[in-house]
Structure 1
């Protein structure tokens, strides 16, 4: 009759409907509830166990780890904890650990995978606002396919869970094994495998991953014609004792015992990229394969945050990782550089105000004054930056505003800490940035210049948050390499660094990229 019934007011974390439309799932106060549409009955399903993502360090209602799907008999939903898959009866009752606790025991994440027509993946919804489950009902009377990922080994693969049994590995390798795509009418799947120095070619096998065969050999010249580095996982802790990791790229021809110049590039959690093949492409960030090919270590550390202390958290985690790499004998402590873009740009901008650990810093599209950033427009979406500052990526805290927490905002703003800068640094910013207002980069540059600091601003007209024009991408990659080569390798400074380029002559004089001064006529 069109009557609307309120299920629950103020929900921010919902998990969608069961495939038959009989049940609605949601999260409230950290508990998982079902709502039966026919009876309007609400039932807590979690049996007192938390399925909330405890690793999420934002100051909002945290989501569940994820939804694996609903069972084909319509009685249960599959939810994830940090490592394992659980079955929760929709009408309430005892929960079942489908993967028998093997995930927690081995620190391996198990996630449901469905091999439908042309579909696949490390399935399951994330349990966010309007989040959902895998598309097809899951028959637990048949073997269940799950993906596997070693949280601290970075190994990956797939396993099979027989009804009532423990997971049995089908494929497990020290690589990143991609999502399988299944054939519609044959016992075949195709998937990728990759590492830092193994191109993500396609492999073919049956649906139990028996004896995979490599089907493609794309871009073999990359590894044959260029010097390629290798990877190593670094374990470390921050000052709060949190267990963290970083992925360290070793330069081509690495010699044990030799100390190398090192570039640090980071964002938030980077160690899971350990087995990502590094395409040497042009954009506005450094690329591991390019720097490793030219004699650099490249460190990508994880960062965990304390609410209200985003900059300080970055300083803690990044410097802790660097100290560990130095202690292990890889890096020359006098030749370490730092680069970050966007959110990484904010963090690298803050770090340059807090430590002299780095010989040079490059920061791209950075929020630099949290006081003024709070009221600017995220022009790409039309939103004001208040939400992202309080409870989003910046993590200043719910209700923490520039008026209620003025000293806190200033303490975490690069601009307000600019007098403490002792390191030469360079700022990249596009004038048409729709995510972080161009004025944020200019404000930091102006402050540093007025304070007599060594700073360069690379201003790219009409470029967005990430540069789109290939000529500008190339230009920045060249300038960034020259900047780091000068400060970390002792290479001569090009003219654009020593003499600058007037706005009216931008792009007109290629000799400014060299170290040779033109002869006056």
Structure 2
């Protein structure tokens, strides 16, 4: 049982206990009338949905039945299959769509071809339809869509064409915004099928005004307004050069699985803006009407993780934090000073003692990168300390996140390591045409070179760690570098070629897209550039491991399957390298089981202490490291 989106109807989904058949019952909450849109009889279905159409007395109904894709004794896969998820699940969803007119109680079935999904755009007459698997080849995370627009009154069909899988509709469905294959914004006027290109890069998250006069675009360099009457795109002065977000948009999704949604704001309502200034390192919040700032709410150098305001904009509150400042809940009002509602710093007085430094470094191509260096607790400038380097991708943007001391699911916690007397370094890593591993190796070398003159770092006692993509990078670097005394790699790919030709059950289908256009950014298939894949494959150089490595994974991981960890362990074992592998029974990609989390964090701290602090009385490590251990 549920209420429709605009609260006009109560929908009850009934199921017959004996036959397992189902039916939909709709109650008009205003007229107190009961309807059976699909008929009073119970029918064969697995579930159905009711989508009230905005500004119209109508609804889009969907009925779904599951058909088995397996015979029970064999799973049959074809080279031309485009829906591997159904093969993996053992069932395929068969969908039927109906347009129900509440006033007349008439119902019209959509007959637009096999496997077509239907989405309303808000005018009660026109509907988008597409086959979500038609262009799926698994080289993209989300496939392109071949979309058409159907008019239920004229029974006509207008082909929009092949576009990116995101469509933004104005409130009344008059305009549709989407990106072409080459990521350029195109607008379709659905009343006359006129198309308009908006020639500007770095525009995102469009918002229509309710009166169809303007579209606002966010960007990393300010706020832009597109006038729907004149066709002019103008940058608003108040936000020029800053990364902005509009906080008070009304967004309602029109479909499941594909990003199709209304994005609107009332024409008379000021925009509530979040503005990030990279030069002053501040974030500010204000209300904006046209080019004029109506009211400044706050500006701070801290991170604001939540900002809320009253409808009348006369009161607002926010959650504020920094790396050395526990979260604080504050409130303010017009003509009033900010008041503290809750201050977690009273329970964490040592946080303010944390020291952080931003490290700048460059690659050979001149690209500038940054890294976060945290100093050990109770730092003594006359003492040398070991350092632990954590890698993933871009990490310097986390510089204002509060450091919570806890045993987390990755076995890595900055605050705990600082308390144990380590430097902790988080350098940025990029990938390029050489592949993520080789490019990452240059990044890590450049980052360490930037710290070469730091006299308080013991450069003979540096450890490297990473999880997931960071685990892959750790695996690769461990076979190519001699700058580290020990490694910890969690849930990382060890054989990108085996991974490329394997199934991912978190994102059902093969891993092609992850390697080609996802995090790894290889930008080619294996067949088209085998040497690129060979150069970036950790397991191919397992015999070159330069220091002891601790591997860990969850045995229920369906993203980076535990066979990756086992494969790397077996390769290292073959070449008599110092490796210990941990396989946690109950957890997946990160550890969710409490005893397993505690065990991993304890073992990680012992591992670093053993190799970076020479604290050698650790039986489970000595079992590997001491020659006479059994």
Larger Rg: 2
Task: Report SS of the residue matched to 2:452.
Answer: helix
Match of 1:31 among 162, 184, 201: 184
Query: 1:45 — aligned with what?
Result: 198
Distance of 1:100 and 1:221 partners within structure 2? 39
| Structure whose residues are more often strand by fraction | 2
1:221 corresponds to 2:344: no
Distance of 1:159 and 1:482 partners within structure 2? 49
Query: 2:124 — aligned with what?
Result: none
1:17 corresponds to 2:143: no
Distance of 1:160 and 1:371 partners within structure 2? 51
Q: Please list the CA deviations of residues 174-215 of structure 1 after superposition, one character each: whole Å capped at 9, or x if unmatched.
A: 21022212235772212111011211121111279x632110
CA RMSD in angstroms comes to: 3.1
Q: For the structure 1 residues 445 and 148, does the alpha-carbon distance in structure 2 shift closer, same or farther, using more than 3 Å as the test? A: same
Distance of 2:419 and 2:460 partners within structure 1? 21
Query: 2:586 — aligned with what?
Result: 462
Query: 2:160 — aligned with what?
Result: 8
1:115–1:180: 8 Å Cα contact kept in structure 2? no
1:248–1:298: 8 Å Cα contact kept in structure 2? yes
Give how far 1:258 is off: 4.6
Q: Please list the CA deviations of residues 140-170 of structure 1 after superposition, one character each: whole Å capped at 9, or x if unmatched.
A: xx65332122336643232444533479864
Query: 2:259 — aligned with what?
Result: 130
Query: 1:85 — aligned with what?
Result: 223
Q: Please list the CA deviations of residues 33-84 of structure 1 after superposition, one character each: whole Å capped at 9, or x if unmatched.
A: 11001000001123xx322xxxxxxxxxxxx5x2252234312211133221
2:239–2:275: 8 Å Cα contact kept in structure 1? no
1:254 corresponds to 2:379: yes
1:99–1:161: 8 Å Cα contact kept in structure 2? no
1:146 corresponds to 2:263: no
2:496–2:537: 8 Å Cα contact kept in structure 1? yes
Distance of 1:220 and 1:351 partners within structure 2? 42
Q: For the structure 1 residues 357 and 169, does the alpha-carbon distance in structure 2 shift closer, same or farther, using more than 3 Å as the test? A: farther
Alignment size in residue pairs: 472
Q: For the structure 1 residues 341 and 324, does the alpha-carbon distance in structure 2 shift closer, same or farther, using more than 3 Å as the test? A: same
Task: Report SS of the residue matched to 1:38.
Answer: coil
Match of 2:566 among 442, 445, 465: 442
Task: Report SS of the residue matched to 2:290.
Answer: coil
Q: For the structure 1 residues 377 and 74, does the alpha-carbon distance in structure 2 shift closer, same or farther, using more than 3 Å as the test? A: same
Query: 1:505 — aligned with what?
Result: none
Task: Report SS of the residue matched to 2:248.
Answer: coil
Distance of 1:134 and 1:476 partners within structure 2? 44
Normalising to structure 2: TM-score of the pair? Answer: 0.69
Query: 2:442 — aligned with what?
Result: 316
Give how far 1:411 is off: 1.0
Give how far 1:427 is off: 0.5
Distance of 1:170 and 1:412 partners within structure 2? 49
Give how far 1:135 is off: 4.6
2:578–2:624: 8 Å Cα contact kept in structure 1? no
2:515–2:521: 8 Å Cα contact kept in structure 1? yes
1:187 corresponds to 2:311: no
Task: Report SS of the residue matched to 1:180.
Answer: strand
2:327–2:345: 8 Å Cα contact kept in structure 1? no
Task: Report SS of the residue matched to 1:10.
Answer: strand
Query: 1:415 — aligned with what?
Result: 539
Give how far 1:420 is off: 2.2
Task: Report SS of the residue matched to 1:8.
Answer: strand
Q: Which protein, 1 or 2, shows the higher relative CO under an 8 Å CA cutoff with sep ≥ 6?
A: 1
Give how far 1:256 is off: 4.2
Q: For the structure 1 residues 160 and 187, does the alpha-carbon distance in structure 2 shift closer, same or farther, using more than 3 Å as the test? A: closer
Distance of 1:354 and 1:99 partners within structure 2? 49
Q: For the structure 1 residues 368 and 138, does the alpha-carbon distance in structure 2 shift closer, same or farther, using more than 3 Å as the test? A: farther
Q: For the structure 1 residues 154 and 234, does the alpha-carbon distance in structure 2 shift closer, same or farther, using more than 3 Å as the test? A: farther
Q: Please list the CA deviations of residues 435-470 of structure 1 after superposition, one character each: whole Å capped at 9, or x if unmatched.
A: 111111111111111112221111212321111111
Q: For the structure 1 residues 138 and 441, does the alpha-carbon distance in structure 2 shift closer, same or farther, using more than 3 Å as the test? A: farther
Moved more, 71-80 or 410-419: 71-80
Query: 1:123 — aligned with what?
Result: none
Normalising to structure 1: TM-score of the pair? Answer: 0.83
Moved more, 210-219 or 478-487: 210-219
1:202 corresponds to 2:315: no
1:261–1:489: 8 Å Cα contact kept in structure 2? yes
Query: 2:496 — aligned with what?
Result: 370
Task: Report SS of the residue matched to 1:471.
Answer: helix
Distance of 1:166 and 1:239 partners within structure 2? 43
Query: 1:114 — aligned with what?
Result: 248
Task: Report SS of the residue matched to 2:438.
Answer: helix
Match of 2:518 among 392, 406, 416: 392
Alignment gaps of 5+ in structure 2:
1-150, 252-256
